[in-house]
Structures are given as C-alpha cells and as structure tokens.
A and B are shown apart, each in its own frame.
Chain A
C-alpha cells in the first residue's frame, strides 16, 4: 500500500459494523477471560471468603433475627461480594494493566476503547456471578429464610454488578500508580460497605451518612436486592434499577469519553 492509498484509508476509514464490533468484543473478552482462566478458584475464593465469614459471624452475633434482618444480612453480603470483586479487584487489575504497559498494546490496535471497557466489565461479571449465587445459596441455607425467587432477581443482580464494576473500572483507568489505586479501592470498598446501607438499614445510619449514601450505587443495589428477595418486583425496585442503570451508563460514558489511552 503506498502513501496515497494510506492517506485515503486515514480519511475514509473502514466502517465499524455490528459484526466488527462483536468480533472485537469477543476477542478482547477472550483475552481478558484468559487472565482468570487458570486462577478461577482463587478468584472465586477471594470474592466469597470475606462476605461468607461475615455471614457466619452475623449468624452467631445476632440473636433471634427477624426475616427482614436475615434478608438484610444475606443481601448485604451478596452485595459485599460484588463490591470486593467489582470495585476492589477490577480496579486494581485495570490499574495493573495500565501501569504494566498493556494499554500501549491495545492502543496500538485499531479497536474501540468502549470495547476494551466492555470486555473488562464482562470479565468483572464473570468473576462475580459465581460468588453472588454461592452467597445467596449459603445464606439461604444458614438462615433458613424463605426467599422469593422472582424473575427480577437475575436482572437486579446484573444491574448491581454493572453499576458497581463501573466504579472499579473508573478507578483503574484514572490510577496515577498501583499503590494509590490499591489504597483508594480498599478505602472506598470499606466506606461503601460499612458506612452505607449495605449491611445495615438506612435508618440505622447517621443523617449525614444517609445523604452521602445516595451517591453510591451499592445503596440502590442492596435495597433492590433486599426487596426482590422479600417481595419480588415492586415500584421501589424499578426505581432502584433505574438508578443503577444510570450509574452503569454514566461510568461507561465517563471512561469512554474522558479517559484517553492513545493521546
């Protein structure tokens, strides 16, 4: 190809059709998936152990819990698992990719950044879903509470994951260095888990934290999950889902538009 033909290609790049987008996303996902292919047991343990021990601890700690309290604990720990994987692990993993020069490789290819982000999101989902389900099953078994198995459960679960994973992706992309990312991700993880209505009910928190917690997607995720597990699909769940959808779109938009990897 000579210079003139290259110039033509620059000015009129090949159109990006749906099939090209799908190919790109599936390959990028396979590259991301390969990273956890050999260590899925560790990934699962990491996402499960912390919330699982919290569930067990609360079982011994709380005497005669009401069904609402039991669901609060089960749903809270399911969301805690999502936070560990989606915010902490994915944030640190993307930061590692950035600082080890992986972006240099990806940016040298004619791919859309949105697809790279989506591949990371999918990987986050892949890592989180097993622990999410496992915690639900174990929580149900330990507390023996009668949970509603609503059609809305997978939908709420998916939105919880995408809204929270987005936070991890953002932290990873913006990371100035790996140490800071690690500290920031862990700090945020503790704040959103224990100082927002994930493990406890909203009215148990001080007023200031109640207001602050409206900024975190985990508040809506925990509320939606609790309500779905107790009553199935309600208008309140719909509102929570709308908020989570907004968070998912917002984080993807921010990463795609404001974070540059080429220049």
Chain B
C-alpha cells in the first residue's frame, strides 16, 4: 500500500512546436505525502502547469509515470477525477450560469446529492461574502469574484485532494487571505493540497514543502525551513532612510556587512550571525543617521526561490 498520494517517477514531456521539439518537463521525480500542502513554484513557462496536467491525468507523460495512490493515473483518469478537485482558471465554461448554479452543478457532477450540493454552494457563497450574488450570472461579476467562484467549484464536494493553479491572482488582499484560510482549513480536515503559485511570499505562510521548477526541471523540493537553511545563513536588516542621506547611511553601515540598495530610500544590510547584535545595537542607538524604520528579516521563501534559480542558471552556463 503506497504511503504517498502522488509519486512522480522520472517524468518528461516533450512536444512539437513547428519544426522544433520543446521539453516542457525534464525527468521530474517527486512524491507528495497524504495531508501535506505542497507549493509548486517557478516562473512563467517553467513547466508547472504541465506537471499539474500530468497529475490530474489530462496529459500523458512522454516518458515516466505518475502514480496516484499507487496506481497509474492514466489507467484511472475518471475515477481519479472523483477524488481530485482541480482549479485551473476562472470558469469561463460556466459564465452563462448563475453563481449558485455554477457551484451546485459542479458539486452534483462530482456525485453530490442535490440537497447537499445546494447547501454547500450556499455555505461557500456566505464564506466568500457573496451570498447576495448567488442569482447573478457569472459573466456579470468582476474578475476577482469570478475567480472566487472558480475556487468554490474546486472546494465544493470536499475532495480529498485539491489542486490549485494560481488561485489568488487578481484577488484583493482580503479575498487572498480568505482563500489561504480556506485552503488551510481544508488541509486541517485532511485534504492533500497542491498549490501552483507565483505569489511566493504568501505561499510561504501556507505550504509545508516547496518544489522549485524552472526550464522543466525540478531544482529543489523540501520543507520550507530546510530550504531556507540551505540558502543563506546571514541575517537581513530592512532599513528605511531619511531622504538625501543614503550615501551617508551606506558608509556608516558597511563595517557591519554588505549593504544593498533595494529602493530610493530603502537599504538592506546583510550581516553574519555573530555580527548581528553589534549591528542591531548600532541601528537602535545611533542618533546621527535618520533611520526611520528598521526590521530584522529572516530569509524568505522568495530568497530561496531566487537563490535556487540563480544557482541553476550558473550551473547551466558552466556546463
């Protein structure tokens, strides 16, 4: 009996574009455990969506195999669809339907009873603060509202595996927070979640493990904290300097570590751990420099992402 929900084994996807062969995925291997939230990170065209389509059984890998609960997904695509809810994009397909119809119909197509589907659709609309919009057609909604309904179509039916492709694009901060909360809530109830996102900073709050993909290759996969440890052991101070005093501040801070300019009046100071207390004391106690704000920042998942991507590019250049 497999302990993994998904096992991706040496999967490659090659397709023909005009006269050239394009590699969308290149020998990707990874496993996804039951009950975890895996973030799949990578730039546009990295091969993330190709991987997701292979995971839901909509794309047969050119090479390799995707096992879902120990079984080849290609042989069980329809049965797998009853266990995996996939949010791909805003539901243009349902745009002529009313909002509550779009949710309830999707629930019923997942095998829910009419009454349960209607009830859950109503609950979701209340959670989304869209209860008054249930009777409107989807095409009458804003881009963000349509996206929320799309997310609702993935959440309805309480599928044990949830896959979201860029769920928070176009959403306002309040709705984005709500979506992350809902995803975490479903995960606490036992759902395994796979999350494709560009929003690395937000994903960091939610994911257990992160997989970094670029140029169709899996560059890294691990727990977020482990990935962070691999990146940079230095501490980072984010500083806001009074206008016109930047050069002076750079000169004063340089003895403690590396100073980087991140914006017009913002600096980053990278210091070794043993220098941290001295640097902090200087920043807090100094009176000459107008440091308006300061914050000590641990390495973020975004730093990890850039670091891994940079290292991979460097390696590619050397080879």
Contacts and interface: CB of A to CB of B under 8 A. Distances in A.
Interface of A: 1-4, 6-7, 9-11, 13-14, 20, 23-24, 27-28, 30-31, 34-35, 37-38, 97, 100-102, 104-112, 261-263
A106 B77 CA distance: 12
Contacts of B82: 9, 13-14, 110
Contacts of A10: 68-69, 71, 76, 79-80, 83
B73 to A, nearest CB: 9
B105 A27 contact: yes
Interface stretch (B88-96, B206-214, B243-251): B88-96
Of A97, A100, A101, A106, which is in contact with the most chain B CB atoms at under 10 Å from its CB?
Answer: A101
Given A107-B58, A109-B109, A31 B5 contact: no
A14 B5 CA distance: 20
Determine the interface band of chain B, counting residues with CB < 8 A from chain A: 35 or more
B172 interface: no
A109 B160 contact: no
A173 B186 CA distance: 36
B160 A6 contact: yes
6 contacts: A3-B3, A4-B1, A28-B109, A102-B93, A104-B89, A105-B88
Query: Per DSSP, are chain A's interface residues mostly helix, strand or loop, or mixed?
Result: helix
Contact of B93 (A30, A38, A105, A262): A105
B46 interface: no
Contacts, number: 120
Given A6-B68, A107-B56, A108-B56, 17 more contacts: A3-B3, A7-B1, A13-B76, A14-B82, A27-B105, A97-B93, A100-B93, A105-B91, A107-B81, A109-B81, A109-B110, A110-B79, A110-B81, A110-B109, A263-B57, A263-B74, A263-B77
B305 interface: no
A20 B112 CA distance: 10
B274 to A, nearest CB: 46
B134 interface: no
A33 to B, nearest CB: 9
A27 B1 contact: no
Contacts of A97: 93
B100 to A, nearest CB: 13
B88 A101 contact: yes
A108 B86 contact: yes
A195 B170 CA distance: 52
A125 B160 CA distance: 38
Given A3-B34, A7-B1, A110-B111, A38 B69 contact: no
A98 to B, nearest CB: 11
B261 to A, nearest CB: 43
B108 interface: yes
A93 to B, nearest CB: 12
Contacts of B306: none
Contact of A13 (B57, B68, B78): B78
B60 interface: yes
B253 interface: no
Query: Lowest 9 A-B CB distances belong to which pairs?
Result: A110-B82, A34-B96, A7-B69, A263-B60, A102-B93, A108-B86, A13-B79, A1-B160, A110-B81
Given A11-B71, A105-B91, A263-B60, A24 B83 contact: no
B79 A263 contact: no
B97 interface: yes
B282 interface: no
A75 to B, nearest CB: 34
B85 interface: yes
Interface string B99-126: 0010001101111000000000000000
B254 interface: no
Contacts of A101: 88-89, 92-93
Nearest to B96: A34
B59 interface: yes
Contacts of B298: none
A147 to B, nearest CB: 37
Contacts of A261: 58
A203 to B, nearest CB: 47
Nearest to B94: A31
A246 B277 CA distance: 84
A108 to B, nearest CB: 4
Contacts of B160: 1, 6
A28 B257 CA distance: 63
A35 B77 CA distance: 27
